[in-house]
């Protein structure tokens, strides 16, 4: 079975995601499409990079991951295909795939596909390429020449990367024996699980992303702390 995942900042209010599904199914009818998330913060390449790097491993080897957070759409930026860890990634060359580059093979997309729109390469370029690879008609190395990709510049760690459905604040900080974190002027203890504190109390713990998460037991830490994606966090 051909598995294709989609990660974008398109949201679900508009038909953009559905159009990508249609393009993929037209070229690879047997594809199993998994919508990893379409809730990336608009134009937040670093958040998309974090989510992709922390999610692909849960899929079978050989899966094709199409990731489109593309502030430079319509410009001269390249599209790339990355082979890493037994998976294939199709994305704009804007640093989104930075965590995957170690030991990876990277190729610039040069398949003669002329995007119909200068504003929607997700539908017109990346979805078709992902489908062609998933179908087996095109090997990743056949999409174009080897390419030196753009990498995200190093950033100091200590940021809320995701606010999940429950209002938990997922950070980019490793636990590494931390005993407390500080955010919005509050010192919050690190605990093992939600039940280690009383209902309504704040705690930090290791999230399912293997990084520190700030939560409120049976509550909403984001609302309680007025903290959003990008908020600064530090280990204390």
Write the DSSP string, 4-31: EEEEES--SSSSHHHHHHHHHHHH-TT-
Residue 65 three-state SS? strand
- pLDDT for res 127: 98
pLDDT(223) > 90: yes
- For 3-142, CATH gives 3.40.50.10790
Q: What pLDDT is recorded for position 178?
A: 87
Task: Kindly tell me if the per-residue pLDDT of 109 is higher than 90.
Answer: yes
Q: CA nearest 189: which of 179, 174, 199, 197? A: 179
What is the pLDDT averaged over residues 144-149? 98
Residue ranges of domains in the chain: 3-142, 160-235
Tracing tokens 């010192």 back to the chain, one arrives at 187
Predicted local distance difference test score (pLDDT) of residue 154: 87
The span from the CA of 168 to the CA of 170, in Å, is: 6
Look up the pTM and report it: 0.94
Q: What pLDDT does residue 177 have?
A: 82
For 153-205, what is each residue's pLDDT tens digit? 988 889 999 999 999 999 999 888 889 999 999 999 999 999 999 999 999 99
Residue 84 has pLDDT above 90, yes or no: yes
Say if residue 83's pLDDT is above 90: yes
Pairwise CA distance, residues 103 & 159, whole Å: 27
Residue with tokens 């489109």: 68
Mean pLDDT of 2-24: 98
Question: What's the chain's average pLDDT?
Answer: 96
Same fold, 3-142 and 160-235: no
Q: Which CATH superfamily is domain 160-235 in?
A: Bacterial fluorinating enzyme like (2.40.30.90)
pLDDT of amino acid 157? 85
The SS3 of residue 196 is: helix
């Amino acid at each position: 079975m051909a598995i294709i995942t989609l990660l974008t900042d398109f949201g679900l209010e508009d038909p953009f995601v559905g159009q990508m599904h249609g393009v993929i199914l037209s070229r690879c009818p047997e594809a199993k499409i998994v919508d990893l998330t379409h809730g990336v913060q608009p134009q937040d390449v670093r958040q998309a990079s974090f989510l992709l790097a922390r999610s692909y491993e849960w899929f079978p080897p050989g899966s094709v991951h199409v990731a489109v957070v593309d502030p430079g759409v319509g410009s001269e930026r390249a599209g790339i295909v990355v082979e890493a860890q037994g998976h294939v990634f199709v994305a704009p060359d804007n640093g989104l795939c930075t965590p995957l580059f170690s030991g990876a093979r990277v190729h610039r997309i040069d398949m003669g596909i002329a995007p119909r729109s200068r504003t929607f390469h997700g539908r017109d370029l990346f979805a078709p390429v992902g489908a062609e690879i998933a179908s087996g008609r095109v090997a990743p190395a056949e999409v174009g020449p080897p390419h030196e990709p753009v990498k995200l510049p190093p950033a100091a760690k200590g940021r809320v990367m995701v606010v999940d459905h429950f209002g938990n604040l997922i950070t980019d900080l490793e636990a590494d024996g931390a005993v407390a974190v500080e955010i919005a002027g509050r010192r919050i203890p690190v605990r093992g699980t939600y039940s280690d504190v009383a209902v309504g109390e704040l705690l930090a713990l290791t999230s399912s992303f293997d990084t520190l998460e700030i939560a409120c037991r049976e509550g909403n830490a984001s609302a309680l702390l007025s903290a959003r994606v990008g908020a600064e966090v530090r280990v204390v």
